[in-house]
Structure 1
Amino acid sequence: MLNQKITVELHVHTCFSPDSLMSLQQLADTCKSKSIDCIAITDHNTIRGAVAFKNNFPDIRVIIGEEISTAEGEIIGYFIQQAIKPGLSVAATIAAIKEQGGLVCVPHPFDRRRSGVLKLTALLHNLEQIDMIERFNGRNLNDTANHAAFSFAKAHHKATSVGADAHTYQELGCCRMLMDDFSDPGDFLNKLMASQSVTKQLPVWKNILYSGLPLIKRAVMPFLCSRCLACPEAYFNHQAARSQGQTKQI
């Protein structure tokens, strides 16, 4: 119903991302326990997790997204139907998102400790085609990067979002939007401008712990398939796609 408020989590990674151990079932259970109405699944360079979640948990609303590694850093495409291959220029990646009717968001734009942050020159050069700036990321180690992102978005009159950047189920819901229900990407962007947000910065020790858990678990189990252990549905879906030649991206 478009006249009601919904709770939206806009930056979530499942075990279809190589650095996340959150299974689709854990994601669904946590959304229900924390009353999250809508999630954007933004796995690294794939939409397989988002599509699988949408097919298996139809009672939870999903925005299909992808955190794409461009030649100049990461951007997120929301409301897409086909995965966009990594390594393209920022301009080409944005064009591929727009061709699908999607929205372009720049995540954690000023957290310079991350190797995947979009280069400032690329951000400025492509600013006109960027729809949203992630003004608060729950995994930023301090508020400096978040304040810089908010100030930048405000100065350039861009819509802003917040996101947990959740790679574990414990992080879900720490950064969420409360907004009017929406009907399509354009309506979403309009409603986002009038939304409210709830944000919580992870303590440094939790940030380090949650970031390191997937690597630690896989490192101590080299004799087993870590992808299968972390998320069986990710492993088997990927194997099936490979055998059927369905890993094509645009």
Structure 2
Amino acid sequence: MKIDPHIHSIYSGDSNSQVKDILKQAQKVGLNAIAISDHNTVKGSKFAIKESKNMDNLLVVPSIEISTYSGHILGFGVTEAIPKGKSAIETVERIRDLGGLAIIPHPYSYYRHGLFTKIDDNLSNDGVETLNARYIIGYSNSHAKELSKNKNLARFGSSDSHFIKSIGDCYTEIDCDCNVDDILDAIQKKKTTPKGKKTSNFRVLGNVIKRKLKRSKTIPNEVSEIEQ
């Protein structure tokens, strides 16, 4: 199965992508599963799970991207918000207490809050992004791949999408059936293969400009729907 485990929605505050549009695009590009990993909130993830219940061919895995004081960590499989600003060790412990897996996104990217630019990469974790669509060529991905080999970690491909057209640019192939428990189990068994392509720098820049122009309009009616 193909999953994009790192997608941002309007709830992140740095994306214009509405949840319903994310689901439609994921189906369009042939993904079997996604995870909306918004910054420090599970609102987008919960809304996506609710909206996907009537979709036979797309699974939504709960997730969140937590801002520790050293960098970012994905709480993959987590259904509750985890406080930001804690240490990486505390955050990993909390993720696991909630039954999730600690995945390190863009671990060596200095300008994207890469965790291992601030702390030692011996931190206990369950996997690392070795193919992030924003950094498909460069130090962060190549060094993460080396780390995954040395530490026997699950390897992830992720779009790290902040706009609709980039969803699925990078993704992870997982050897399992299409349900959340099997996905988490396969990750723990290292049955993951990162694949994909780099998101166009031109599109990334265009999206940043577009988002800044529309910042005041980025939170639509979905907010009231999920909070009801």
Q: CA deviation at 1:99?
A: 0.3
C-alpha distance in 2, partners of 1:195/1:119?
22
Alignment partners' CA distance in 1, 2:154 and 2:136 = 23
TM-aligned CA distance change 1:35 to 1:80, over 3 Å: same
Task: Please state how far the C-alpha of 1:213 moved relative to its aligned partner.
Answer: 2.6
Structure 1 residue 14: Cα displacement: 0.9
Structure 2 partner of 1:187:
185
Structure 1 segment 56-75 matched on structure 2, within 5 A: 56-58=51-53, 59=55, 60-75=58-73
- For the residues of structure 2 that align with 1:161 and 1:104, how far apart are their CA atoms? 12
The offset of 1:190, in angstroms, is 4.2
Identity between Structure 1 and Structure 2 (%): 25
Query: CA offsets, 1:195-219, max 9 Å, x none?
Result: 333210123222222334322322x
Max radius of gyration: which structure?
1
Residue of structure 2 in register with 1:208 after alignment: 205
Report the CA distance between 1:123 and its aligned residue.
Answer: 4.2
Q: For the residues of structure 2 that align with 1:141 and 1:178, how far apart are their CA atoms?
A: 17
Q: State the AA in 1 paired with 2:157.
A: V
Secondary structure in 2 aligned to 1:21? coil
Q: What amino acid does structure 2 have at the position aligned with 1:217?
A: K
Indicate which of 212, 222, 225 corresponds to 1:233. Answer: 222
- How many equivalent pairs are there? 222
Residues 112-152 of structure 1: CA distance to partner in whole angstroms, max 9, x if unpaired? 122x22144534352xx200011111112743321111112
Letter in 2 for 1:233: E
8 A Cα contact 2:154 2:191, kept in partner = no
| Matched letter for residue 3 of structure 2 | V
- Do the aligned partners of residues 86 and 101 (structure 1) sit closer, same or farther apart at CA in structure 2, a change above 3 Å counting? same
Q: Distance in 2 between matches of 1:142 and 1:172?
A: 18
Q: 1:105 & 1:93 partners in 2: Cα distance?
A: 11
- Answer yes or no: is 1:198 the counterpart of 2:189: no
Mapping 1:113-132, distance limit 5 Å? 113-114=111-112, 116-120=113-117, 122-126=119-123, 129-132=124-127
CA distance in 2 between counterparts of 1:190 and 1:92 reads 20
CA distance in 1 between partners of 2:141 and 2:208 (Å): 19
Match of 1:103 among 89, 101, 104: 101
- After TM superposition, the score normalised by the length of structure 2 is 0.89
Q: C-alpha distance in 1, partners of 2:109/2:65?
A: 16
Measure, in 1, the Cα distance between the counterparts of 2:184 and 2:24. 29
RMSD, matched Cα: 2.0
Structure 2's unaligned 5+ residue stretches are none
CA distance in 2, matches of 1:88, 1:13: 22
Paired residue type of 1:213: K
Mapped to 1, the partners of 2:61 and 2:50 lie a distance apart of 12
Q: Is the 8 A contact 2:136 2:197 kept in 1?
A: no
Tell me the alpha carbon deviations over residues 153-212 of structure 1, each in whole angstroms, 9 at most, x when there is no partner: 212221110100011110011111222224526423146x23333210123222222334
2:5 to 1, 4, 10: 10
Q: Distance in 2 between matches of 1:141 and 1:78?
A: 22
Q: Match for residue 246 of structure 1?
A: none
User: Which amino acid is 1:226 matched to?
Assistant: K
